[in-house]
Amino acid sequence: MNQKTLRKSYKFEGKGIHTGTYAHVTVNPAPENSGLSFVRTDLGVSIPALAENVCNTARCTTIGKDGATVSTVEHLVSALTGLGVDNAEIEIDNIEVPILDGSASYFVRDILADGLQEQQAERIYIEIDSELTATNDHGSLIRITPADEFSYELVADFGSKVLGEQKSVWNPAIDYVSQIAPCRTFCFFHELEYLVGHGLVKGGDMDNAIVVVEHPASDEQISRLASFFGIDGIKVNENGYLNNLELHFPNECGRHKMLDLIGDLRLSGGFLRAHVSAYKPGHTVNTEAAKVIRKHLK
């Protein structure tokens, strides 16, 4: 298979969910063998989307270089990976990629409409010759084993009676665009209360996140949150979620974890030809796995 890039440039804009900063993003075609990179146009700094440039994994994946950073790169990088884009240059004029609807849908929808541009160079897959693992103190595990084609599987265990254990799979037989890309980010009601109270969800709204109500919430608590976001009629539905959004899939939260995993592992430098098995994945252990792969290749 040959490498692919975009047929033209695509523009997106909006607020970052964590910083509330407004950013304009342009995803451009890029030459063969250049991979994915983010360019802070306001600072004139290019940051390759590689694991060694990860500088923060608190609630999202942030990459940085020469004093410039870009946060929440995982959804856009996941979208480009799911579509099969080898090479792209992403221009951004602020510190965080817009959250849009909390998924990868906007990115894939616009790019998919035009198809991709095939390039002359052959794709160089990332292949390993022995099993690699990454773990953390929270019981998370990423295991990467040699395989003839890619396959991902995960178990997301949130310790939640509402969510339970959620499983998700991605392989060549599963369409990323319809099965993974639409899955939105999520948070727990009690965490959201804390984050709002401490000014840490400056760009969030009730249209870009699934809210899980794990513990009983009073009418006063729900009213206070609804007032913050400027909406009415919010309540807890029978499944334990706020009724601000309808789930696309029963395991949408688990599938969003797959969306994140695909984006984070792309920081290994390309398309994996391996089997990935993940238990309790998250940005920290995901990007650590990408670093392990990079070190193994060197």
CATH classification (class only), 2-124: alpha beta
Q: What does R_g of the chain's alpha carbons equal in angstroms? A: 19
| pLDDT, tens digit only, all 298 positions of the chain | 999 999 999 999 999 988 889 999 999 999 999 999 999 999 999 999 999 999 999 999 999 999 999 999 999 999 999 999 999 999 999 999 999 999 999 999 999 999 999 999 999 999 999 999 999 999 999 999 999 999 999 999 988 999 999 999 999 999 999 999 999 999 888 888 887 777 766 666 667 889 899 998 888 888 888 777 777 888 888 889 988 889 999 999 999 999 999 999 999 999 999 999 999 999 999 999 999 999 999 8
- The pTM for the full model equals 0.94
H-state helical runs in the chain: 74-83, 105-112, 176-179, 189-197, 219-229, 252-265, 283-297
Tens of pLDDT along 222-259? 888 877 777 788 888 888 998 888 999 999 999 999 99
Angle between helices 252-265 and 283-297 (to 10 degrees): 30
Q: Provide the residue ranges of all domains of the chain, joining segments of one domain with +.
A: 2-124
What residues are annotated to the active site? 283
- Pair 263, 74: CB distance under 8 Å: yes
